[in-house]
Structure 1
Amino acid sequence: MSGPDPARNGVVQPGATSQDIYDGGMAVRREVLSDEHVERANANKDEFTDDFQDMITRIAWGGIWTRPGLTRQMRSAVTITAMVAHGHWEELAMHIRAALRNGLSRDEIKEILLQTAIYCGVPSANTAFKTAQQVFHEMDNAGMDNTARDNAAMDNTHSDD
C-alpha cells in the first residue's frame, strides 16, 4: 500500500503548509469569482470576520475547489444546486456568474435549474430561475462582450464567499 495519491488532493498535499493551502485556495477563488470580488471581500473583513474569510479560502477553495476529481464546470453545477436547495439566493447569483466564468453556458445553467425543480422543489427552482434571469439581464444590459460582461457581472455581486 503506497498511501494517499497526491494527484487527487489538489493543494492539500502531504507536507503542504497552511500557507500553501491558503495560497492555492486564494488563486482558485480569484479565478472563479474574480480578483475584484475577492479584493472587495477582503476589504470588508474585520477582526470579527477575518477567521471566517481565512476558513473559506483554506477549506472551501484550497481544500475542495483545487482538487482535480471534478471539473470546475461540475463543481459549479453542484454548487448551484446546493444554493437552490438551501435557498441562498445571493450566493446563487454569485455562483451563476462564477459558473459562466468556469465555462458553463446559459443553456447548461437552465438545465441545472430544471433539474433542481425535481430534486429541490418547484418553488425553489422558480426563485432560482428569477435569480438567473436577473443576473443575465444585468449582464445583457451592461453592453459588453461576453467575457467583459461576465467579469463585470461577477464584480457586482456583494457576497463575501
Structure 2
Amino acid sequence: MTRPAGEGLSDQERYDQGMTVRREVLSDAHVDRSIANTTEVTGDFQDFITRVAWGDVWSRPGLDRRSRSVAVLSSLIALGHHEELAMHLRAARRNGLTVDEITEVILQSAIYAGVPAANTAFRIASEVFADQP
C-alpha cells in the first residue's frame, strides 16, 4: 500500500479519525478516563497515540480490527506488557474475537513467546473474562 496522492489528512483530521477508532475499540468510558487523567506531562503523548496509533495505523484498511487485535495481543504477550494486556483483551472482545479465539492466541504465544508469558496472559485473561458477561 502506497501513500495516497495529495496532501493527505491534516493533524486534526488524523486526531478526529483516531479518536473515533479509539472509542470504538476501547470504549467511550476507557477513553474518557484516559483523557480525564491527561496531565501536562502526558498531553503530547495522548495526542500522539490518538493521531498515530489510532488515526494512522488502526485506521488503515489492510487488516480488519479482529486481525489487528490478534497482532496486538501477540505482541503484548511476547513483550511482557501486562499493564496493557487487560485493556486489549477487552478491546479484542469488542472487535469480535471470542474467548475461545483469544485462548488460542494465548496458547499459540506459548510456543513463540514462552510458557511463562502465556501463563501470565492466561491469568490476566481469566481475571478480565470473569468480570465480563
Normalised by the length of structure 2, the TM-score is 0.94
Runs (4+) off by over 6 Å: none
Partners of 2:45 and 2:128 in 1: CA distance: 27
Matched, 1:89 2:110: no
Per-residue deviation at 1:138? 1.5
Q: Which residue of 2 aligns with 1:120?
A: 113
The residue matched to 2:61 in structure 1 has which SS?
coil
What does residue range 79-158 of structure 1 map to in structure 2 within 5 Å? 79-140=72-133
**How many residues are matched?**
132
Q: Deviations over 1:115-152 (max 9, x none)?
A: 10001000000000011011111124xxxxxxxxxxxx
Per-residue deviation at 1:5? 6.0
Q: Which residue of 2 aligns with 1:43?
A: 36
Q: Which residue of 2 aligns with 1:73?
A: 66
Partners of 1:5 and 1:49 in 2: CA distance: 30
Which structure 2 residue ranges, 5 or more long, are not aligned?
none
Normalised by the length of structure 1, the TM-score is 0.78
Partners of 2:3 and 2:19 in 1: CA distance: 23
Q: Deviations over 1:73-95 (max 9, x none)?
A: 00000000111011111211100
Q: Which residue of 2 aligns with 1:143?
A: none
Q: Which residue of 2 aligns with 1:152?
A: none
Identity, % of aligned positions = 58
The one of 7, 10, 21 equivalent to 1:17 is 10
Look up the equivalent residue of 1:93 and give its one-letter code. A
User: Which of structures 1 and 2 has the larger relative contact order (alpha carbons within 8 angstroms, sep 6+)?
Assistant: 1
Look up the equivalent residue of 1:132 and give its one-letter code. A
Which structure 1 residue ranges, 5 or more long, are not aligned?
7-12, 141-161
Per-residue deviation at 1:15? 2.9
Look up the equivalent residue of 1:39 and give its one-letter code. D
Partners of 2:83 and 2:99 in 1: CA distance: 18
Look up the equivalent residue of 1:78 and give its one-letter code. A
Q: Deviations over 1:47-104 (max 9, x none)?
A: 1100000010011001100001001000000000111011111211100000000000
Partners of 2:14 and 2:26 in 1: CA distance: 18
